[in-house]
Structure 1
Amino acid sequence: MLTRRGVLAAAAGSLLLSACGQPGQRPDDGTPGSAAPDRHELVVGASLELTGRGAAHGVLQRRALELTAEELNVSGFPVGNLRRTVRLEIRDNGSDPRLAARQATELARRDEVHALVGGTLAETSLAIVGVAQARQVPFLSLGFGDGIALPLAQRTFVYKLTPDAADVARRMAQLIESLRLRRVVLVAVDGPHGDAGVRAVRLALPAVDVGLARTVRLPVGGTGFTDAAERVVSAEPDGVIVWATAPDSGSAARALRRAGYRGTLVLDPGAVAEETLTRPNLAAVEGAYAIHPACLGGSMLTTSTTAERDRREFTLRYTQRFDRFTGFAPYASDALRLLTSAARMASSVDRGRLRAYLQTQVVEGIAGGYAFAPIRHGGMEPDSLGVYQVNQGAWTVWS
């Protein structure tokens, strides 16, 4: 079967030489933006939401980064004629876009990182985008939002690992059709992530002949959801889509149940974090559905047994270290693996060469599949998405 991933793999290969600069570049040449050659390191700067409203995802991504760096550093990885290790420079942006931008600037200028990772919130990712482009530092975004890697002409150093809203919405629409729901309400958080969801859902539902009774926006900050929930209930839907990130997803579910809604809940991937299945939320989210990448449970990686093994091993290491794996997409782990793969292929940690070889990556990662190309810098492949349901306080594969 001809897939988008296969087409992009061919495109990436044919355009690789033109994307890499002039012939004869010396591999691992220590050009500006590289760490001192004698350090033998790939230096990755991460601005993450370790506190604030994005911490439900930011803390999980830090864990994924550190676990993967430890694994890679056991024996290092070849880059040209050197064997390098990963050094992480992690900063807490406090879920503040302005702080995220300042941190990205400092990491690029003072710490001379080879690449940037981070921004689990769309707002912080978008703040880092400007810095990455100005400083010409490859940036792998972990945020939800369709405007992060587009327009491509202004995002040449930017790559997005999360699923595109249109792919998530189409999978939601298929689920809603199979559940025979005919009238739904969309509850979307204010901001770029919610905006992307609103656009995508409005396009996806008519394709399955499902009516969108109302769109209700949630205020940023996790409070004041009562009024929004009451507006949802007054529309008398038989299904509700909650398009938000944890912890807002769980808070919205609680508000809806308190307002008297007892129907079906469908959540986008941003809901899947440990916070959503904590005790205060369990009764509200029991039975809820979520669209999420393959790593959540029940492997969907049918094309790569190596990828399946890597995902299982990552889950095992994570569980051993942190006691439980309640389900999240380890995008940060994939970001680090994509960077080390690009460094191997480029025989260099030069920022420009890393960027060029990132856009040739067509791989199955821990979280799901990616097909980057010069004409496409994100996000996750749609066939990586599955349907899950909360069953007795745990995410389970829905069939």
Structure 2
Amino acid sequence: MATPAIDSSVLTRRGVLAAAAASLLLAGCGQPGERPDDGSSASSAPGDQDLVVGASLELTGRGAALGVPQQRALEITAEALNRAGIPVGNRRRSVRLVIQDNRSNPTVAARQAAELTRAGARALIGGTLAETSVALAEAAQKIKTPFISVGLGDGVVLPIAERTFSFQVTPDAVDVARRLADLVRAKRVRQVALLAADGLHGDSGVRAVRTALQAADVELVRTVRLPATGRSFAGAARRIAAAEPGGVIVWGTAPDSGVAARELRRADYDGQLFFDAGAISEDTLSEANAAAVEGAYAVHPAGLGASALSATSTTDLERRDFNYRYTQRYGTSDTFAPYASDALQLVAESVRLATSLDRGRLRAFLQMQVAEGIAGGYAFTETRHGGMEPDSLATYVVAQGSWQLYG
């Protein structure tokens, strides 16, 4: 992950925090070797111990379309970090991943959090589904192990008083909804319907979209929730089409997003489609979905649109290198994968700054991280653990079967 850099021409929240980060890091966390005061019982690791990072991911089940790319991203990023090692005090540590399949089951995910910590994990990453992320966050709080969620849903790191060990690298629903509402208004669509996934991610979307559309003076004519994955979406699509909206916002995650688009077209809806960030996956652009999603819009972190030919900053070069290695290994890039890469980089940087593998110190330095990652920019604070910055978001359109930066 690139060293934070401030563009003097743009004053952003991230830039202000970055300017203050160094002094806060020195003043707020004590000197190297000091015991944490947050109740963590973890001590500094022996000199020959790796940085063990545990991952509980949806490698099977309903979240596999997003979970598998996260596993791949973690492995690629760990290899890159291990080329030189992570400086921790006067030693260099290697990253050792311990990855488990939570089978898209929150109960399994919660159990794995404890298992991974007992196996030596200094930090946890995972939960592409909101439900598994919440389960991991609750477990991480009990066992005092830092956890970074790669899932979508606003309840993962809130309330902050009960989630002091949890962080999130995906964008907030409120920020995505505002960008979608602005786009809908710019496209002169006056009436829209919302087709939202079941579960916590869909709940976040319903709340955020209603508020954002009202502020944008766009009428929400109907809200329909998708049934649980594995059941037919046809009925929900017909109810949306019957309202005859000028646009439909599909708020869900792959593979549901693409299936919902297909069912809307089969229900004779021929208007504009708008996706939230959960749809940005190669699965959504699969051959089965291609005709249905062509011309659809989505809001997603701006890193998706970076051109390898124009890469000039350190972050751009890191993004290009990651995409190259991912494509070389798996034949295609995956636009959802960079979240896990950023999560692991944030852990590694926090360990470097903490000069320790102590879990309590790692948590303290995570909540002061201000950095530019592959997916977007992050600015964690003591009172804000959902770190994806709003100015990291951009709008994309599906053109000739690929995501293209719009406008």
TM-score (norm 1): 0.94
Contact 2:32-2:354 at 8 Å conserved across structures: no
> Secondary structure at 2:314's aligned position in 1?
helix
Change (3 A) 1:164 1:299: farther
How many Å apart are 1:328 and its aligned residue?
A: 2.4
Shift of 1:207: 1.9
How many residues are paired up? Answer: 394
Aligned match of 1:268: 276
The residue aligned with 1:55 is 64
Matched, 1:25 2:34: yes
Does the C-alpha gap of structure 1 residues 120 and 255 become closer, same or farther in structure 2, counting only changes over 3 Å? same
Distance 1:280 1:39 in 2: 50
Give the aligned partner of residue 168 of structure 1.
176
**Within 5 Å, which residues of 2 pair with 1:74-223?**
74-109=83-118, 111-223=119-231
State the partner residue of 2:4.
none
Structure 1 window deviating more from structure 2 (167-176 vs 215-224): it is 215-224
Match of 2:6? none
- Structure-1 separation of matches of 2:56 and 2:126: 5
Asked if the contact 2:14–2:370 (Cα under 8 Å) also holds between the matched residues in 1, the reply is: yes
* Cα RMSD after superposing both structures: 2.1
- Displacement of 1:310 in angstroms is 0.7
Aligned to 2:74: 65
Secondary structure in structure 1 of the residue aligned to 2:124: strand
Asked if residue 377 in structure 1 is aligned to residue 376 in structure 2, the reply is: no
Match of 1:360?
A: 368
1:52 positional shift = 0.5
> 2: distance between equivalents of 1:125 and 1:146?
10
Deviations 1:92-129 (A, max 9, x none): 001000001111111112x0210000000000000011
Q: Secondary structure at the match of 1:37?
A: coil
Q: 1:71/1:326 Cα in 2 relative to 1: closer, same or farther (>3 Å)?
A: closer
Indicate yes or no: 2:232 matched with 1:247: no
Aligned AA for 1:190? D
Residue 389 of structure 1 aligns to a residue whose secondary structure is strand
Q: Please report how far the alpha carbon of residue 38 of structure 1 lies from its aligned counterpart in structure 2 after TM superposition.
A: 3.9
CA contact (8 A) 1:304 1:364 kept: no
2:399 aligned with 1:391, yes or no?
yes
CA contact under 8 A between 2:192 and 2:248: conserved in structure 1? Answer: yes
**2: distance between equivalents of 1:131 and 1:108?**
10
CA contact (8 A) 2:311 2:317 kept: no
CA distance in 2, matches of 1:23, 1:308: 32
| Cα displacement (A) at 1:378 | 0.9
Q: Distance in 2 between matches of 1:141 and 1:217?
A: 24
Equivalents in 1 of 2:387, 2:350: separation in Å? 17
The residue type paired with residue 259 of structure 1 is A
Gaps of 5+ in 2: 1-9
**CA shift in 2, pair 1:353/1:304, >3 Å:** farther
SS of the equivalent of 2:176 reads helix
Instruction: Report if the CA contact (8 A) 2:45-2:358 is conserved.
Output: no
After TM superposition, list the pairs within 5 Å mapping 1:299-310 onto structure 2.
305-310=313-318
| C-alpha distance after superposition, 1:261-294 (max 9, x if no partner) | 0110000111111211111111111111111112
Q: Deviation digits for residues 236-267 of structure 1, max 9, x if unmatched? A: 10100000000000110011000000110000
Q: CA deviation at 1:13?
A: 4.9
> 220, 228, 233: which is aligned to 1:225?
233
Instruction: Provide the C-alpha distance between the structure 2 equivalents of 1:54 and 1:39, rounded to a whole number of angstroms.
Output: 36
1:6 aligned onto 2:5: no
- Residue type at the aligned position of 1:49: E
In structure 1, stretches of 5+ residues that fail to align are none
Aligned to 1:325: 333
Q: Distance in 2 between matches of 1:304 and 1:84?
A: 29
Query: How far apart, in 2, do the equivalents of 1:73 and 1:194 lie?
Result: 38
User: For residues 72 and 293 of structure 1, what CA distance do their matches in structure 2 show?
Assistant: 23
Q: What's the secondary structure of 2:71's corresponding residue?
A: helix
Distance 1:299 1:186 in 2: 32
Supply the AA of the counterpart residue of 1:172.
L
SS at match of 2:156: coil
Is the alpha carbon distance of 1:42 and 1:236 closer, same or farther for their aligned partners in structure 2, counting shifts above 3 Å?
same
Q: Deviations over 1:351-380 (max 9, x none)?
A: 000001111111110100000111211131
Q: Percent identity?
A: 63
Give the Cα–Cα distance (whole angstroms) in 2 for the partners of residues 76 and 341 of structure 1: 11
Q: Is the 8 A contact 2:306 2:316 kept in 1?
A: no
CA contact (8 A) 2:376 2:389 kept: yes
Displacement of 1:316: 0.8
CA distance in 1, matches of 2:107, 2:30: 33
1:8, distance to aligned residue in structure 2 (A)? 3.2
Q: What one-letter code is carried by the residue in structure 2 that aligns with 1:81?
A: N
SS at match of 2:94: strand
- Partners of 1:54 and 1:308 lie apart in 2 by 29
- CA deviation after TM superposition for structure 1 residue 321, in Å: 0.8
Aligned-partner Cα distance in 2 for 1:293–1:191: 23
1:144–1:388 distance in 2 versus 1, CA, 3 Å:
same
- 1:219 CA drift (Å): 1.1
Report the CA distance between 1:223 and its aligned residue. 2.0
